[in-house]
Chain A
Amino acid sequence: MLIDLILILPLTSILLSLLFRWSVVLGATLAFFNLALLIFGIVLAFNIETTGPVTAIDATFYADSLSSFMVIVIGLISFLSSLFSIRFSIKELAKNQSTLLEISRYTLLTQIFIFTMLFAVVSSSVAMIWVAVEATTIATTFLVGFRKNKKALEASWKYIIICSVGVGLAFVGTLFFYFASAHIGGPISSSRPVSLDWTFLIKNSKKLNPQIIKFGFGFILLGYGTKTGLAPMHSWLPDAHSQAPAPVSALMSGVLITVAFYTILRFKAITDIAVGRWFSQDLLIAVGLLSLLLATSLLITQKEIKRMLAYHSIEHMALIALGAAAGSEIAIAAVLLHILGHGLVKAILFIASGEMLITEGSTEIAKLKSLLTHKPLLGGIFGVGLLALLGLPPFSLFTSEFAMMKSEISVGLGWVVGISLVLMAVIFGVVVSHARHILVGESSGRQTLKTSKLSNPIRASRLTTTPLVLGLILSAAIGVVSWPLQTLLLSAAKVISG
């Protein structure tokens, strides 16, 4: 019942945004719906905690604690994003940068996007997950190209081409899982293909042919890895995330990539039992370290905030991959916490960068200076957000990174931790240096204060800043207080680590 509700809710939103042109009321309604989604997610999690996994519509949909966790993440980020969407839309209309029709279309697509992500996490069939993930690409292409200028079109072109190819490869991987499952007597070609169901696969994963599963998992990792932003097909990510409007970037960077990783996790669980843990471990380490190296190298010379944040996403996905490589229950729980923490903080930062674009007119590092002086609150949010993103306590990324690394070392991956710490230190230095340019700046403080007051009369809106501050506090809270998240995390991790 709850699952139905969770799917009906965004469908209603879609319907509403189809029927009505955009208005503040509609925006607020949608934000409220997304909040409701978050609440439903939490309720679902509690339900599952007491009664076990739930299914809906002839077991087409299935939710265990992992799914419910992802629903919470999606709900949370969607809520934040839809709040900022209101501000974004008002400004767009006020500046005549977009027509009402464009805004309405944007709203519709965003809601579809949210729906597809939800669909992905509550689908019981791994093939339907694929369908949903592919659908997210379709829904977001136009959102990436929202500006319709040269850069945005280029980004959306790259985005759809690279992601379609990548996700296509994931489909090949899924086919091989299906193939393996069919050969152990899973029924084929009925209207309800049980043999592609996650529950069936995980239950019978011992019987699956390891070699085929290995082959399939390679494709899965390469394919969904594309969508996650892992090397080698990560290249679309900085372009798309930087060109999309801030609320969309928040959603993409905050949840979309982790939804893709969620899928990898599901397949990893099957692979681990079928083949043995070492296999996915090796692959994930290779991919993770490569991505981390890439993110580090490319962060060094960043000139633009949103690109910088995008590379940060690659970094964090790499960290998550490495954490998943460790594979123990704590490691997976930490990975999940990282998914939540990263999503939250990244969304906050993207929204903050969107606000900067509104108030400062640019997100280029060179053009932003001494933000902390003339926009203390916005600058402060951005700065603290970056600190949170860099994994400093009390924010949750610290706890999760700590736990991931600890588990990595405890399974004998000390060298991985060593390498990643070195790379992260470089990232830290680089990001702090960028942050200095943005927040503190070089020019004499008083002068900037005067000139900036004249040239930037737009103030950061409370509508934006309040949720962001609350979000940061939330991020700190989940990093410090165990209850009630830890139980959920651990039981969700059990789904993966067995």
Chain B
Amino acid sequence: MHLLFYSFLVGSIGSFASLVLTKKYRNKFASFCVVLEGLICSYESLSIISSGKTTTFNSNQLLPFFGIRLSLDPLSAYFILITSLLAIAVGIYQLGYIRHSTKAKTPTFIYPFFFTSMVLVPISNSVATFMASWEIMAITSILLVLTDHAKNNNSGHATQWYALMTHLGAASIFIGFLILSLGTKHQQFSSIVMSSSSLSTIEKSLAFFLLFIGFASKAGATPFHVWLPRAHPQAPSPVSAMMSGAMVNLGIYGIIKTGMTLIKVSEGWWWIVVIAIGTISAIYGALQCVTNSDIKKLLAYSTIDNVGLMIIGIGASGLLATAKDEKFALFMISGVLFQMLAHSIFKGLLFLSAGSIQYSTGSLNLDQLGGLLKKIPLTSTCLLIGAFSISALPPFSGFSSEWVLFEGLFRSILHLSGVNRLAVLFGLSGFALASGLTATAFVKTTGIGLLGVARSSHAETAKEVPPTMLFSTFLLALSCLVIGIVPGYFLKLTMKSSQLLFPAKKLSPNFKYGSIDLPNLATNIDPLLLLVLFTIALLMILLLLKAAIKRKVRITNSWGCGNEYSNSKTQYTATSFAEPLQRVFADVIRPDQDLVVSHVEESRFYVNNITYSNLSQDSIERFVYVPIKRAVTTWGKFASQMQNGSTHRYLSLGFIVLLIVILVLS
């Protein structure tokens, strides 16, 4: 625990130093401090996970009236681990990135605090401490989203949405916690855990759902997600990476913490609702991911999709736990944590690669990119690896994690009964659809963005990014591969971390050479072996071909149905790529399609100009949130008539109340 405090100190030194230091050293020193902080945190969390011990820290000197209560257990250590691993990579990345993007001190100042608050959230052990660190996390991230406000008109809007949604979420969490803490007469989490069974079902349900909504909104689950696809893309890429890769996890942490520890005995139907929300998020996120053309926006939606998967897993685990099948509940939740690790790493990688692409081309719109694999091969390779991971292609991390999730869901279907089983089946279908859509989305991203011909001059003149940025993305890409081929080690880690949730039972899988062999599941995977087989096959084929055929390749123009064309505009764009799916899911996506044909003045039969626009907006935002906003504005306009400036009216209000006072109170 004390190591963590030192790491906070290091971070703060970095941030305050960035206020004082000159431009030349500011980023270097701040990034160094963040990386150091990350290293210390990851060391500490790893040692906590491996020892399985819980350490606490209490002080009344901080936070008036309440005092701070901290407790570091393996579960929270796991979240810290993910956050700090990502922070290390991002810290290295920033060395190169900030130099070009912004010269302001504020982001460098705030960033370490953002990181620190993300470490504080999982170790908070009382309602007040939690809310404080939660809100600090919110506020620092809000400020970071605003970093590029001078260059970008949208960041204001994004920040506004984000701020509002996160505030609503916090309010919901706040009430939920208060119900818990007043029902149990405790405000420390560890004491709430002890006495939460004394709560009535209604109290528990109310608290659970309020907390769930709040955390789900931070995690970005549909329909509380609207802020996410706005805020994550608007932040500078390192921040997006942290937000999508680490901050979102804390929403998941909240859900796990609430449903599995704070409220000890849960109801089955809660988890069915949770699965429903997860499924909707997964499908909705994946759909929007497919139809968007802005890389970062698309990545943000894919975060919603992945969060959906995790929530489905949590729901299934909760159902298993309520069905007293703690063995598999533990397995399921470990799967969720594993998926989270994988997601954090590949999403971090993808966002950082997107940042690199923006760095070298100045654009994130897929419809303007193309041919980057040849122009910036290293960055593109990293992006590709990220895309393969997220599409769950073996042997990358997404495959292993989704396999564990799938197995967990399959087992849940086997072990549950009745409506619970149906719910999990529903979740599994959503999982399947989402994973298919994700693959499509990332074929689109890489295919349109990296392959083909450059669609704009930006892409034409792309140059490779500085080595620090490359190093960081390579690091993450390598992690994707490592996590993918030796999933056993990581699943072991997650099982150790989540052991706390279900202390009694233990499923003992065999983890040999990183493979996962589950005797109780009668199945196994060994991605490393698959990789070896694949490599052998590949090499053999290549050798065979080399031996058999020696003909050279002739480079020509692309075939154009007999025409010569070298126009890059005739390529498929991201929008056209997604068009069939958009059409299939038109009821959900509700795209705004507009075709304007203007004719030549003389004759209607000669077309002058055709403009086709195809805009897919977030339909939930459009049909749920915008009407609410409009209603509030209307009310405000109506109410403002009351304050019409007339002294007489103001006084007469008082007069009426005075009469009432005289009448009533005597």
A residues in contact (CB < 8 Å) with B: 157-158, 161-162, 165-166, 169, 211, 214-215, 218-219, 222, 226, 232-233, 235-236, 238, 294, 297-301, 330, 333-334, 337, 370, 372-373, 376, 380, 387, 390, 392-394, 396, 398-399, 402-403, 405-406, 409-410, 414, 417-418, 421-422, 424-426, 428-430, 432-433, 436, 439-446, 449, 478-483, 485-486, 489
Contact = CB atoms under 8 A, between A and B. Distances in A.
19 contacts: A222-B657, A226-B654, A232-B653, A232-B657, A301-B636, A301-B637, A373-B149, A393-B133, A396-B64, A418-B175, A424-B171, A425-B164, A425-B167, A429-B164, A430-B636, A436-B159, A439-B149, A440-B155, A480-B62
B665 A214 contact: yes
A215 B653 CA distance: 19
Contacts of B394: none
The 3 closest A-B pairs by CB, nearest first: A300-B636, A297-B639, A440-B156
Interface string B236-271: 000000000000000000000000000000000000
Nearest to A421: B171
Given A330-B65, A444-B153, A486-B65, A429 B661 contact: no
B621 to A, nearest CB: 14
A233 B661 CA distance: 14
A111 B172 CA distance: 45
A176 B349 CA distance: 72
A410 B139 CA distance: 28
B155, B635, B665, most chain A CB atoms within 10 A: B665
B174 A421 contact: yes
Interface string B262-295: 0000000000000000000000000000000000
A480 B128 CA distance: 11
B21 interface: no
Interface in B616-665: 629, 632-633, 635-637, 639-640, 642-643, 647, 649-651, 653-654, 656-658, 661, 664-665
A440 B650 contact: no
A233 B640 contact: no
Interface in B148-186: 149-153, 155-157, 159-160, 163-164, 167-168, 171, 174-175, 178-179, 181-182
Given A421-B171, A486-B65, 6 more contacts: A158-B650, A218-B664, A232-B656, A399-B128, A480-B62, A482-B61
Contact of B643 (A161, A235, A390): A235
A232 B171 CA distance: 28
B69 to A, nearest CB: 13
Contact of A393 (B104, B136, B174): B136
B182 A161 contact: no
Contact of A405 (B132, B178, B632, B650): B178
B63 interface: yes
B657 A436 contact: no
Nearest to B634: A300
B479 to A, nearest CB: 33
B579 interface: no
A166 B66 CA distance: 38
Contacts of A478: 64
Given A417-B178, A425-B167, A481 B666 contact: no
Nearest to A214: B665
B67 A482 contact: yes
Contact of A399 (B63, B104, B168, B181): B63
Contacts of A432: 159-160, 163-164
Interface of B: 60-67, 104, 106, 128, 131-133, 135-136, 138-139, 142, 146, 149-153, 155-157, 159-160, 163-164, 167-168, 171, 174-175, 178-179, 181-182, 629, 632-633, 635-637, 639-640, 642-643, 647, 649-651, 653-654, 656-658, 661, 664-666
Contacts of B651: 161-162, 165
A399 to B, nearest CB: 5
A82 B358 CA distance: 49
Nearest to A379: B149
Nearest to B172: A421
A315 to B, nearest CB: 14
B63 A482 contact: yes
Contacts of B164: 425, 428-429, 432
Given A394-B132, A398-B132, A482-B63, A433 B657 contact: no
Contact of A298 (B156, B640, B658): B640
A235 B650 CA distance: 6
A47 B606 CA distance: 93
A387 B155 CA distance: 17
Contacts of A337: 64
Nearest to A154: B645
B8 to A, nearest CB: 13
A425 B171 contact: yes
A409 B150 CA distance: 43
B626 to A, nearest CB: 13
A235 B639 CA distance: 13
A387 B163 CA distance: 10
A385 to B, nearest CB: 13
Nearest to B666: A215
Contact of B654 (A162, A214, A376, A479): A162
A424 B64 CA distance: 22
Nearest to B665: A218
A219 B640 CA distance: 27
Nearest to A330: B65
Nearest to B138: A392
Contacts of B179: 409, 414
Contacts of B637: 300-301
A359 to B, nearest CB: 18
Nearest to A433: B160
A436 B156 contact: yes
Contact of B665 (A157, A215, A398, A449): A215
A414 B179 CA distance: 9
A498 B471 CA distance: 64
A301 B149 contact: no
Contact of B65 (A403, A430, A481): A403
A346 B483 CA distance: 51
Contacts of A376: 104, 106
Given A373-B150, A387-B139, A398-B135, A481 B163 contact: no
A440 B647 contact: no
Contacts of A393: 131-133, 135-136, 139
A297 B640 CA distance: 7
A485 B629 CA distance: 40
B661 A442 contact: no
A298 B643 contact: yes
Nearest to A479: B64
A222 B660 CA distance: 11
A428 B167 contact: yes
Given A436-B157, A436-B159, A440-B155, A300 B132 contact: no
Contacts of B67: 482
Given A300-B636, A399-B65, A405 B174 contact: yes
Contacts of B632: 300, 426, 429-430
Given A376-B104, A398-B132, A481-B62, A218 B661 contact: yes
A489 B65 CA distance: 10
B653 A233 contact: yes
Contact of B64 (A301, A399, A428): A399
A334 B65 contact: yes
A486 B636 contact: no
Contact of B150 (A236, A301, A449): A449
A433 B167 CA distance: 13
Nearest to B128: A402
Nearest to B181: A406
A402, A430, A449, A486, most chain B CB atoms within 10 A: A402
A479 B62 CA distance: 9
Given A233-B650, A301-B640, A440 B159 contact: yes
Given A165-B654, A372-B150, A480-B63, A300 B156 contact: no
Contacts of B664: 218
